Structure 1
Amino acid sequence: MSTLNLGAVGNCSFSALIDPRGRYLWSCLPRFDGDPVFNALLTGEDEPAEGIFSIDLEDLAETEQFYEQNTAILVTRLHGASGSLEIRDLAPRFFWRDRIFRPQTLVRRVKPISGTPRISIRCRPTFSYGNSRPQITRGSNHVCYVGPEMTLRLTTDAPIDYVLGETRFNLSAPLDLILGPDETLTGSVADTARDFDERTCSYWRNWVSSLALPFEWQEAVIRAAITLKLCTYEPTGAIIAAMTTSIPEAPNSGRNWDYRFCWLRDAFFVVRALNSLGTVQTMENYFRYLMDLVADAGGGHLQPVFGVGRERDLIENILENFAGYRGMGPVRRGNQAYEHYQHDVYGNVILGAAQIFFDRRIQMKPTITDFHLLEQAGEQAYKVYNMPDAGMWELRSRSRVHTSSSLMCWAACDRLAGIAGRIGETARVRYWRERAEEIKETILAQSWSEKRQAFVESFGGETLDASVLLMAEVGFLDPRDPRFVSTVDQLEKTLASGPYMMRYEAADDFGKPEVSFNICAFWRLDALTRIGRQEEAREIFEALLKTRNPLGMLSEDTHPVTGEMWGNYPQTYSMVGIINGARRLSKPWESVV
């Protein structure tokens, strides 16, 4: 049975997911939202016939898998009666000729570690979303897989006849496989693979060494940080929500969505989490992406999600040829959310850009033009703060004046006032402060329910929603405010189950949710810490860390009964929660060193 115990490798231009047996089950080319040439994750088969790249041990009995410390290099060991072998998987990433080198290339390094393991190699990419099988040609040291729009070349020092025939052979010496564009290597495959491996290992370890880590839970934070970095699309600065499409939010729920795009909401939280660890390059790249989007909008409506190349039309359709994860379709390509009105987007844009006006570590300097562009987004926030929308949970069948959307509209105006003060625009400070105060007064009046003794999910509503926990996180309310404390209490009574937290209590387009949404659990422990219940928050955090898979990663959702991971993977929102939780709860370095 398929699980989400998958390792991720990538280089900030594309990625791949590898199961505990060392099989590539998912990889899209030439970028995150491209053609899934390896797609066995969504075929519904335990032993997939196509869309897979594997090194198969004949008498496999046991596996182990881990990351090379402080890197994105995945090590898989396969053990059987005939012997054991090790596979090192990576996507090259390092500085070369004064620029970053990140080709659409996968490197597999295979070596025997005991006995004489008998293996076979299966490389079975498909094209056109599984609808096209490649034409195969061969050279003296390579195989080409020719598709309608791309050609992949597998260069290897394994016998080409054995690769083509998927013939078993004795692994008596190390071998290397490099899969990438149809280009000739400049050196031998062994030398190239070793060079790529060593340089990539060095890159990641240097990157990790620059992180400002909390004292506790460092291993968890490092893995979360690397995973977030892998979800950035460096050519444009975009940040994807997850690497996959259509992993159901719950078993047989139909809640299957394509997350391989840049939600401005999710991206803001990613940027802020990485900034908190002292790595600001991601923010600089994302700021450029963001400001282009704001300029494109021209002061009008800003959609909540875009393609990684700023594509606007993410037309959603169902891929009938895929059975889906564990056979639980549908499988979707594209996401209809691009058509939504989600008013929190304006706050997320301005919050995502604000730090660049204050952080002196950043080389690029924002201009007064940038500020005026952000003001256009602020004007939209003020215009729509009390208007119905689909909300941050992207409800498809109804609209309301969602508290969380109005909250982020307040944040947009509040942060613009702060930016204006920073750059000496005194009149604009007053202008935006007045608008922020107006929105705040409206939210306090319209979203508080005397009946529920809590802030509720929409103006005049009566149902609870975990997103109101962001009130403290974005500085809207003092966390000790009795109304916020009461809200936390009511949310825990209604939405919490042990360490887990549901998004909301009301039924949505698909009925009542049955799984917990991981980021909501992290919002809860953040709120508990802020209101003085730190020991409870630490217990919840420790419990949430135990729900990670063996490689330290989380998907979008966790089933509160089975503890199983569901939803797209790895989910940036969830990995952000790990970083934020550790930073909020860790003992200070000064207390122990």
Structure 2
Amino acid sequence: MSTTAPESSLELWPIGNCQVSGLIDRRGALVWGCVPRVDGDPAFCALLRGENGQDLGSWRFSLENQVSVSQEYVRNTPILRTRLEDESGGKVDVFDFCPRFERSGRMYRPVAFARMVRPVSGSPRLKITLTPMSGYGSQTAPLTHGTNHIRYLNDRHALRLTTNAPVGYILDERAFRIEKQLAFFLGPDEPFVGNISHELDAMLRMTESYWQHWVRGLATPIDWQEAVIRAAITLKLCQHEETGAIVAALTTSIPEAPNTQRNWDYRYCWIRDAYYTVQALNRLGALDVLEKYLAYLRNLVDDAHSGVIQPLYSVSGAREIIEWEAEALPGYRGMGPVRVGNAAYYQVQHDCYGQIIIPNIQAFSDHRLLRMGNVEDFISLEKVGELAWKMHDQPDAGLWELRTRTAVHTYSAVMNWAACDRLANAAQVLGLGDRQLVWRERADTIRSNIENGAWHKACGHYAATFGGKELDASLLQLVELRYVAADDPRFQATLQAVERTLRRGEHMLRYANEDDFGLPETAFNICTFWLIEALHLDGRDEEARALFEAMLAHRTASGLLSEDMDFETGELWGNFPQTYSLVGIINCAGLLSRSWRDWR
């Protein structure tokens, strides 16, 4: 095997426990991991250090004279097994996981990365490179050490590595023969109690059991089960369980296309992305994610000023997410800047009102939930609904978050129609007849305004903006939002226009017109999945299935997708793993799969 570090790629394997997460590369190195939570300082930031000095900001095991690396997840878990082999046939298995299991009546999910190295055959010699960083890559983390631990200071968060491996070999990065199981626990700065090897063995077993039992409760389709299960596990990893927030991706600043400056920090909770995530997981019966997210939303609604909702919040619910550039990090393949924070938090995006209300409506009628919605919850939601009603025909930045211009976006207006429509439904369930009438009348008025503003008579299709004629892929969501039926002639005409304008072979653009950075250079993966859904609803199942299989073929070895894809080469771009894209896998598999009854 070449000793030259390979070019960074999105061939990455997520691990996590809904408190902390990490990405393992195809060499078995931990190259991305933030502490003490997903939006924190990346102690492991090699992914964004360009092609020089990849070992800085990483944690890698390698064998002397190593010739191969193979990787796979332990079935139905985010536990990764990496096998390293040397030229003499020496082999070791590395198990990577973040502990997650019930202990003492609560979920144990520490800010910790656990790694175990088990000798398999031969006499392999192992080298350990562990160089966490601090201050967004500005310096290596200062360290102190004892006989069986090393303490690293990352910004204001100290991490302690406890291990039964020789600490001196780790500090010197010196290879040594591995003759027994080695255990590594990089976690809270406190003494590790018990035998490290035995304890991590137990943690591994309990973590494996937790995830496999969680998967056991999913209502998966018969076809494409493995793809759906992997997407569902990874979506759950994107939830910050402490608050219930769901982040859009685990990374920041992976470019949407090469050298474009389209580098954004997605480690926050976009109301839109989270809406699609809980919708997909809800279809699989993963109510635990929905319940925790609804609690997060209730807090946002309580804190909202006069019902005003931002497009995104921090995982703690904080409103202000100042955007700045981490100058010490060159960026993915050197394609900076690396941005921290996201200025979109102060944008005006009116679709978020519908995305707050729609998932909350389930709480008023789903008797499986531990906490169902009540009249007080409905009254709180009405504050958000008032904004949906007030803003449905006002300009905003739209779901694609344009930074330099605004318009009345059809998608936003339809989301606000859905907000009023669903509030009317909830009022009916609660027996609030007068409020049902109010919200039904408002929904009808918004519908009339959409038909007058968004339907372009000359072109014969819905437009992306009121009074405009341009198209974008969000128009394919009109059926999903129950605004129109799939066989409605207006939707049929719009589908044909969108496909003709935005489809690029196996892929779909968000839009084809110039934005703040010029013409789009990559396809947006969720839009391709929206097209697949529309093709199915149009009765073109054979074509839809072929396109779905093509998208699945573009997944990484870990079974995942990023945000964007080069529609000519198929290379993945954008932040990873992207919740939008994983939602598309789940939704399309559910639509296109055979039924279990037919299979039996």
TM-score by length of 2: 0.97
Name the SS of the counterpart of 2:428 in structure 1. helix
Determine whether 1:120 maps to 2:127: yes
C-alpha contact (below 8 Å) 1:2/1:46 kept by paired residues: no
- Aligned residue type for 2:139: S
Match of 2:4 in 1: none
Match of 1:34 in 2: 40
Determine whether 1:70 maps to 2:76: yes
- Aligned residue type for 2:69: T
- Aligned residue type for 1:16: G
Name the SS of the counterpart of 1:579 in structure 2. helix
The separation in 1 between residues aligned to 2:75 and 2:281, in whole angstroms, is 19
1:133-282 superposed matches below 5 A: 133-282=140-289
Q: 1:413 aligns with which of 402, 415, 420?
A: 420
Match of 1:25 in 2: 31
RMSD, aligned CA: 1.0
Per-residue Cα deviation, 1:12-68 (whole angstroms, up to 9, x for no partner): 011000001110110000001001000000010255141111102222222111100
The separation in 2 between residues aligned to 1:507 and 1:454, in whole angstroms, is 21
Per-residue Cα deviation, 1:322-371 (whole angstroms, up to 9, x for no partner): 11000001100000000100000000000121111111110112221110
The separation in 2 between residues aligned to 1:539 and 1:452, in whole angstroms, is 30
C-alpha contact (below 8 Å) 2:365/2:372 kept by paired residues: no
Match of 1:397 in 2: 404
Name the SS of the counterpart of 1:473 in structure 2. coil
Moved more, 290-299 or 302-311: 290-299
Q: 1:16 aligns with which of 18, 22, 25?
A: 22
Q: 1:316 aligns with which of 299, 319, 323?
A: 323
Match of 1:4 in 2: 10
Moved more, 41-50 or 263-272: 41-50
Match of 1:371 in 2: 378
Shift of 1:148: 4.3
Q: 1:327 aligns with which of 318, 321, 334?
A: 334
The separation in 1 between residues aligned to 2:329 and 2:414, in whole angstroms, is 40
Moved more, 530-539 or 408-417: 530-539
The separation in 1 between residues aligned to 2:55 and 2:94, in whole angstroms, is 21
C-alpha contact (below 8 Å) 2:144/2:151 kept by paired residues: yes
- Aligned residue type for 1:361: R
Structure 2: runs of 5 or more not aligned: 1-6
1:417-456 superposed matches below 5 A: 417-456=424-463
The separation in 1 between residues aligned to 2:305 and 2:375, in whole angstroms, is 16
Name the SS of the counterpart of 1:62 in structure 2. strand
Q: 1:490 aligns with which of 474, 488, 497?
A: 497
Determine whether 1:539 maps to 2:549: no
- Aligned residue type for 1:44: G
The separation in 2 between residues aligned to 1:260 and 1:136, in whole angstroms, is 27
- Aligned residue type for 1:525: I
Name the SS of the counterpart of 1:9 in structure 2. strand
Match of 2:62 in 1: 56
Q: 1:349 aligns with which of 333, 343, 356?
A: 356
C-alpha contact (below 8 Å) 2:55/2:129 kept by paired residues: no
Shift of 1:301: 2.1
Structure 1: runs of 5 or more not aligned: none
C-alpha contact (below 8 Å) 1:132/1:147 kept by paired residues: no
Name the SS of the counterpart of 2:440 in structure 1. helix
Change beyond 3 A, Cα 1:46–1:209: farther
Per-residue Cα deviation, 1:564-585 (whole angstroms, up to 9, x for no partner): 1100000001001000000011
Match of 2:103 in 1: 96
The separation in 2 between residues aligned to 1:398 and 1:539, in whole angstroms, is 37
The separation in 2 between residues aligned to 1:367 and 1:206, in whole angstroms, is 31
The separation in 2 between residues aligned to 1:119 and 1:465, in whole angstroms, is 53
Give identity over the alignment, percent. 49
C-alpha contact (below 8 Å) 1:116/1:171 kept by paired residues: yes
C-alpha contact (below 8 Å) 1:38/1:51 kept by paired residues: yes
The separation in 2 between residues aligned to 1:298 and 1:44, in whole angstroms, is 42
Match of 1:572 in 2: 579
- Aligned residue type for 2:506: P
Change beyond 3 A, Cα 1:292–1:233: same
Shift of 1:115: 1.6
C-alpha contact (below 8 Å) 1:94/1:200 kept by paired residues: yes
The separation in 1 between residues aligned to 2:96 and 2:589, in whole angstroms, is 29
Shift of 1:387: 0.5
The separation in 1 between residues aligned to 2:338 and 2:548, in whole angstroms, is 33
